[in-house]
Amino acid sequence: MNQMQNEVLIRVQETPNPSAWKFVLDRPVLTEGKATYSNIQEAEHNNLARSLFQIPGVKQVHYFQNVITVTHQFDVESEEIKQQVCAVIQTRMPVHNPNQTVVDEKKIARLSLSPEQQKIEEILDRTIRPGLQGDGGDIEVIKFEDNKVYVTYQGACGTCPSSTTGTLMAIEGILKEEFDPAVEVIPV
């Protein structure tokens, strides 16, 4: 096989988070679900993610479809990070297995959630998640109790300044309108 056929085409995009970049590839990174690695230990069984954590300043790696979102420390040179991430993708992607991560376990786990929390997940899937995923991130509902929805941000959203203000207000507004006017959304 000629070397040009193995070359990964990568389109680098900014995200609303100044400390995160989206790397859109010409092939799948993950065939089903999503995966977020917050440190090299979590990535020990994924060579691509583990290699990305070896770049100084990388804080989080998030996979979704054909996108890798890399969040880095705010005080590192972002152009250098971009170049290093692209180099790692070029060398590791040809041997990366996009089927490695188990089917999105959270969707399976939803079957055991309360009807209220299933409704919240459905609303977020339809309204909020597509935008967050388009920006290289996501949101996870940790729990729902006493009319409070506890959430955590993933990928580029994890350290994005707008996730704690504008995005949070939008999520709460949609849930107040479509679920319960008294609901509160609390980031953890």
pLDDT tens, per residue, the chain with 188 residues? 344 457 899 999 998 888 899 999 999 999 887 888 888 888 888 899 999 999 999 999 999 899 999 999 988 888 999 999 999 999 999 889 898 755 445 565 677 788 999 999 889 988 888 888 777 778 888 899 999 999 988 877 777 777 767 788 889 999 999 999 999 999 98
Is the residue at 100 inside a domain?
no
In angstroms, the CA 166 to CA 125 distance is 18
Residues 15 and 86 in one domain: yes
> CATH number for the domain including 79?
3.30.1370.70
Residues 165 and 83 in one domain: no
> CATH number for the domain including 154?
3.30.300.130
Residues 61 and 113 in one domain: no
Residues 83 and 110 in one domain: no
**This prediction's pTM:** 0.66
> Which of 95, 129, 150 lies at the terminal end of a domain, its last residue?
95
pLDDT value for 2? 41
**Residue 128's domain spans which residues?**
105-187
| 89, 68 Cβ separation under 8 angstroms | yes
Residues 86 and 112 in one domain: no
Please count the other Cβ atoms lying within 10 Å of the Cβ belonging to residue 122: 13
Phi, psi of 176 (to 5 degrees): -65, -40
H or E segment and range at residue 1: none
pLDDT value for 164? 67
In angstroms, the CA 149 to CA 145 distance is 7
Q: Which residues contact 5 (CB under 8 A, 6 or more apart)?
A: none
pLDDT value for 106? 55
pLDDT value for 103? 47
Q: Which residues contact 77 (CB under 8 A, 6 or more apart)?
A: none
Which residue, among 162, 160, 159, 156, has the nearest Cα to 69 in the 3D structure? 156
